[in-house]
Amino acid sequence: MEAHEELELLLQKWQQQLCTPAEQERLHAYLSDPHYKSHLDLILEKEWQVHQPSEKLSEEKSIAILHKILRKDPSTVDDSRPLSTPGFSASDKWVVWKIAASVVGLLVLASFVAYLMQNRSYHQYQAQKTPEKVQLPDGSIVMLNAHSTLIYEENFWHTRRLTRLKGEAFLQIARNPNKPFMLTIQNAEIEVVGTKFTVKENLHNRTLWVAVSEGKVACRSQTAQLILTRNQVGTLTSNGQWIQEIDSSGNERSWIPGHRIEFKNFPLTIVARQLERLYGIPIVLQDSSISTLKLTAYCRPGSLESILEKITISLNLTYTITPQQVLLRPASTSAD
C-alpha cells in the first residue's frame, strides 16, 4: 500500500473511531511530516468536493470555527492581529484553516489534527554525514547512520516509549517489561522490551529489514507480523509480507565506527543476499555455476563498487551495475 493510500485509510478509520493506538501514532507521524502535506491536501480537496456546502463560510465564521476547534473563546479573538494557533507551526495552519473553512462534517477531522499538533513536544535527532550516537531518557542507546533521523515524543515518555525512524539505526534498548519500546518506520511497527537490533529502510523499493543481535523483537505490518530472536533477520517486502532468515555475521552493523564487513567462507549466494540488504539493490548471479563459490574476505565499509571489486578479484568474476540490479558472472563470460 502506498503512503498516500494508507494516510487516507487511517483518516477514515479515525473518523469511524476504529483506529488502534498504534494506528493513531502512525497517523500522527504522517500529519507531522512535511513530506506528506501534498497527500493530505489532495485528501482534503476530495472531501471538500464531496461535502462542499452551498454557501462558503465567511472569514469571520471560519475564524470562529477554527478557534472552537482549538477550544478558544471566539469573543477574545482580535481579528486585527495575525491568527495565532498555539502548537501549530506556520506551515501547519493551512491544514486546520482549510478544514475550518469547509463544512461541519469535516470539523471532526480538524479537531483531530488540532489535538495531534498542540501541546506536544518532540525531540528530533538527525545524523549528518557520519553516524551519531543518541541516548534516550530511559538510557537506551541509538546509533544513527548518516542522513538518518530519530524522533520521539517527550511529553508521554514516562508512560510510553514511542519513536519514529527514517533511515538506518542500531538500537540498544533498556529493558522495561512494563513499558515496551515502540519504533515506527515506514508502514511497520517494531516492539521490544529490551534488546539490541538494527533496522534499515530502503526508500527505493519501500522495503525494510530488521536484524536482531540480542533479545526478541515483534515486527508488524498492516497485513502480517513476525517474531525475531537472536541472529534472525526479517525483511518486509513491498507487498507487506515478512521474510525470515538466519544471519549471524553482524555485517548489518558494518557502518558503525570500528566495524567492518566480514565474509568467513560464505557461499556467494549468502554474500549476495547480505550485500542486497546493505546497499538496497538486487544482486543477481547470472551463472548458476558460481553460486557454490565461497568467499573469505574482510572489507572496510565503502561504496558498493569497492566491495564488488574485492569480491570479483578474489573469485575471478566480473560485474555490471544497472539502475535496477547488479549482475555477477564468471570473468570469462561476456556481458549480454
Each residue's pLDDT tens digit, 227-242: 999 999 999 988 889 9
79 and 15 both lie in a single domain: yes
Domain end among 68, 95, 117: 117
Q: Is residue 252 part of a domain?
A: no
Residue for cell digits 483531530? Answer: 112
198 and 290 both lie in a single domain: no
Contacts 24+ apart (CB under 8 A), 180-188: 181/138, 181/140, 182/22, 182/25, 184/22, 184/25, 184/26, 184/29, 186/236, 187/1, 187/3, 187/6, 187/26, 187/221, 187/222, 187/236, 187/240, 188/219, 188/220, 188/221, 188/236
313 touches 300 (CB < 8 A): no
pTM confidence score: 0.65
112 and 140 both lie in a single domain: no
Residue for cell digits 538466519? Answer: 246
Q: How many domains does the chain have?
A: 3
Q: Is residue 39 part of a domain?
A: yes
- The whole-number pLDDT of residue 86 equals 41
Q: Is residue 207 part of a domain?
A: yes
- The whole-number pLDDT of residue 156 equals 60
Q: Is residue 282 part of a domain?
A: yes
Angstrom CA distances, 170 to 87, 155, 178, 194, 315, stand at 32, 24, 23, 13, 31
136 and 179 both lie in a single domain: yes
- Average pLDDT per consecutive 10 residues, the chain (336 residues; last block may be shorter): 72 72 70 64 58 50 52 45 42 47 47 51 86 92 95 73 92 90 89 90 82 94 91 90 92 92 94 92 92 92 92 95 93 62
- The whole-number pLDDT of residue 329 equals 94
Q: Is residue 251 part of a domain?
A: no
Candidates 106, 5, 116; CA nearest to 57 is 106
205 and 288 both lie in a single domain: no
Amino acid at residue number 272: A
Domain end among 215, 246, 277: 246
Amino acid at residue number 331: A
Residues 234 and 251: their CA atoms lie apart, in Å, by 15
233 and 128 both lie in a single domain: yes
Q: Is residue 100 part of a domain?
A: yes
Q: Residue 201 is part of which domain span?
A: 122-246
Domain end among 94, 117, 140: 117
C-alpha 284, offset from chain centre: 27
Q: For residue 268, what is the domain's CATH number? A: 3.55.50.30
